[in-house]
């Protein structure tokens, strides 16, 4: 790898994308498209971290992502078991493929496993969505981000704030700001579904603008039964229907602790495919979530968001007034019912062309 002149003929360049969890499939979509447009060989490796069709297959189908070339079928397990199984399997895949780049996405166990495997095989590794920090070391995603950033050769930061974090950790020379690839795919899908009726409005009879969309899946909210009971109590008492798009982790934890996800204002619903989610966001009156991606998607669609976490990586959404983080359970209802924030045309997440920039940066660093 070097910063030598780019090759004239890109066809021999090979990039391996390693993915495994729902948000990574969304990020993969614009990269797969940009890779095809650039004429590079793009090999998709799916670790199998997410295996439910609604968390995996529907994203490949709806976002027109080519089927994975390799599927490791790793599945669930404790962090060590899951990450270790991926590591063991990825060594052989990367060694056989010998790509110019391994591209890893976001902050899941699949991300850190792929980065570690690639760096130990001396295969250049690039981290997409580098530099995000919550500074909360209790979050598994925070370890995954920090370890991946320090292992990777190229840090593709989505924002200036992310680049500042990397600089503070001594990683400025490996960093380039490319924008946010989730913005690429969101804008495209938003335009495609603009005329579509929200599946929640169609199926559940809730009124456009008069209901909330909620998701809860993070370990810090689901794994402590008291915390989960308090959060669901607060949502059940909100002033409008709350459609809870329930991740399998949430369903399992609620069931094992006798917590109902359909009571009061709260109504559990299976997770949505991505275009349906975007259509649902466009019709709802507000979002309540602990997802990183959904906070940003809400902001980009100008839907007020309330985030059930003590901190966020997407600080711009808070600074611009579109995201509020209630620090106590009692603060949730007033936060959700707050007046609509002031309009803004700020674009901290880029122009929807980040994936093209990612390809340019990768190709510019492949030897002729
Ligand atoms: C993972 C990521 C998180 C990301 C989230 C998006 C890590 C550490 N966390 O969290 O950053 O925001 O994906 O959804 O990588 N399960 C199923 N079916 C599946 C997948 C999981 O039932 O298809 C169950 C598992 O049995 C497990 C639980 O959900 O009990 C958690 O799954 P896991 O992949 O470990 O983490 P997520 O909570 O999904």
Query: pLDDT tens-digit profile of 291-328?
Result: 999 999 999 999 999 999 999 999 999 999 999 999 99
pLDDT at position 9 over 80: no
Catalytic residue check, 217: yes
pLDDT at position 1 over 90: no
pLDDT band at 255 (very low <50, low <70, confident <90, very high): very high
CA–CA separation, 258 and 55 (whole Å): 24
The number of angstroms, rounded, from the C-alpha of 176 to the middle of its chain's C-alpha atoms is: 19
Nearest partner of 141 among 81, 28, 219, judged by Cα: 219
Q: Kindly give the distance from the C-alpha atom of residue 353 to the centroid of ligand 1, in angstroms, as a whole number.
A: 29
Q: Kindly give the distance from the C-alpha atom of residue 336 to the centroid of ligand 1, in angstroms, as a whole number.
A: 26
> What are φ and ψ of residue 193, in 5° steps?
-100, 5
235-251: average pLDDT: 97
Q: CA of 177: how far to CAs of 128, 165, 291, in Å?
A: 10, 12, 23
In ligand 1, the atom with minimum distance to the C-alpha of 248 is: 22
Over residues 48-98, the pLDDT tens digits come to 999 999 999 999 999 999 999 999 999 999 999 999 999 999 999 999 999
Q: Kindly give the distance from the C-alpha atom of residue 228 to the centroid of ligand 1, in angstroms, as a whole number.
A: 17
Over residues 121-180, the pLDDT tens digits come to 999 999 999 999 999 999 999 999 999 999 999 999 999 999 999 999 999 999 999 999
Kindly write down the DSSP assignment for every residue of 264-311, as one continuous string: TTEEEE----HHHHHHHHHH-SEEEE--HHHHHHHHHTT--EEE-SS-
| Residue 240: CA count within 13 A, CB half-sphere | 19
CB 297, CB 22: distance < 8 Å: no
CB 1, CB 363: distance < 8 Å: no
First-to-last CA distance in the chain?
10
Q: Kindly give the distance from the C-alpha atom of residue 222 to the centroid of ligand 1, in angstroms, as a whole number.
A: 12
CA–CA separation, 195 and 193 (whole Å): 6
Q: Kindly give the distance from the C-alpha atom of residue 290 to the centroid of ligand 1, in angstroms, as a whole number.
A: 13
**In sequence order, which residues have a C-beta less than 8 Å from that of residue 42 and are 6 or more positions away?**
14, 15, 16, 17, 31, 32, 35, 36, 66
What does the pLDDT read at residue 71? 98
The residue whose CB lies within 8 Å of the most ligand 1 atoms, and thus the one to mutate among 21, 116, 141, 309, is 21
In ligand 1, the atom with minimum distance to the C-alpha of 49 is: 34
Q: At what angle do helices 22-38 and 181-193 cross, to 10 degrees?
A: 90
| Protein residue whose Cα sits closest to atom 35 of ligand 1 | 76
From 46, 127, 211, 217, the catalytic residue: 217
- Protein residues with CB under 6 Å of any ligand 1 atom: 21-23, 49-52, 55, 76, 107-109, 140-141, 217, 247-249, 252
Average pLDDT, the chain: 95
The more confident residue out of 4 and 110 is: 110
pTM of the model: 0.94
**In sequence order, which residues have a C-beta less than 8 Å from that of residue 160 and are 6 or more positions away?**
177, 348
| Protein residue whose Cα sits closest to atom 18 of ligand 1 | 52
pLDDT at position 7 over 60: no
What residue spans of 123-213 are helical by DSSP H? 140-151, 160-168, 181-193, 199-204
**In sequence order, which residues have a C-beta less than 8 Å from that of residue 238 and are 6 or more positions away?**
212, 265, 333, 336, 337
20-31: average pLDDT: 98
Tokens of 87: 């590591």
**In sequence order, which residues have a C-beta less than 8 Å from that of residue 96 and are 6 or more positions away?**
none
pLDDT band at 106 (very low <50, low <70, confident <90, very high): very high
What does the pLDDT read at residue 8? 53
pLDDT at position 4 over 80: no
CA–CA separation, 60 and 321 (whole Å): 33
CB 160, CB 338: distance < 8 Å: no
Nearest partner of 176 among 304, 364, 366, 302, judged by Cα: 364
pLDDT band at 2 (very low <50, low <70, confident <90, very high): very low
Nearest partner of 302 among 359, 346, 245, 256, judged by Cα: 346
């Amino acid at each position: 790898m070097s910063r030598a002149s780019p090759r004239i003929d890109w066809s021999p360049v090979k990039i391996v994308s390693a993915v495994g969890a729902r948000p990574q499939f969304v990020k993969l979509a614009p990269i797969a498209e940009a890779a095809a447009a650039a004429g590079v060989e793009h090999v998709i490796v799916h670790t199998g971290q997410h295996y439910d069709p609604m968390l995996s297959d529907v994203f490949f189908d709806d976002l027109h992502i080519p089927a994975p070339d390799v599927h490791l079928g790793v599945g669930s397990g404790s962090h060590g078991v899951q990450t270790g199984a991926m590591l063991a399997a990825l060594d052989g895949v990367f060694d056989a493929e010998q790509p110019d780049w391994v591209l890893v996405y976001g902050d899941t166990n699949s991300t850190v496993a792929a980065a570690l495997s690639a760096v130990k095989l001396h295969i250049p590794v690039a981290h997409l969505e580098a530099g995000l920090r919550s500074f909360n070391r209790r979050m598994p995603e925070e370890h995954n981000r920090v370890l991946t950033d320090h292992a990777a050769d190229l840090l593709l930061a989505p924002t200036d704030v992310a680049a500042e974090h990397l600089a503070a950790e001594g990683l400025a020379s490996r960093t380039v700001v490319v924008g946010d690839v989730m913005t690429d795919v969101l804008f495209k899908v938003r335009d495609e579904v603009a005329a579509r009726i929200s599946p929640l409005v169609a199926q559940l009879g809730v009124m456009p603008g008069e209901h909330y969309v909620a998701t809860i899946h993070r370990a810090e909210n689901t794994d402590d039964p008291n915390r989960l009971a308090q959060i669901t109590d607060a949502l059940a008492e909100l002033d409008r229907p709350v459609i809870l798009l329930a991740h399998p982790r949430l369903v399992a934890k609620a069931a094992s602790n006798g917590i109902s996800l359909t009571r009061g204002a709260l109504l559990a619903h299976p997770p949505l495919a991505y275009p349906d989610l975007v259509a649902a966001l466009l019709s709802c009156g507000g979002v309540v979530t602990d997802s990183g991606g959904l906070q940003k998607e809400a902001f980009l669609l100008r839907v007020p968001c309330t985030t059930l976490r003590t901190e966020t990586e997407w600080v711009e959404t808070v600074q611009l007034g579109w995201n509020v983080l209630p620090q106590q359970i009692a603060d949730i209802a007033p936060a959700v019912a707050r007046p609509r924030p002031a309009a803004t045309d700020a674009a901290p997440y880029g122009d929807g062309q980040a994936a093209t920039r990612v390809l340019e940066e990768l190709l510019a660093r492949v030897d002729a």
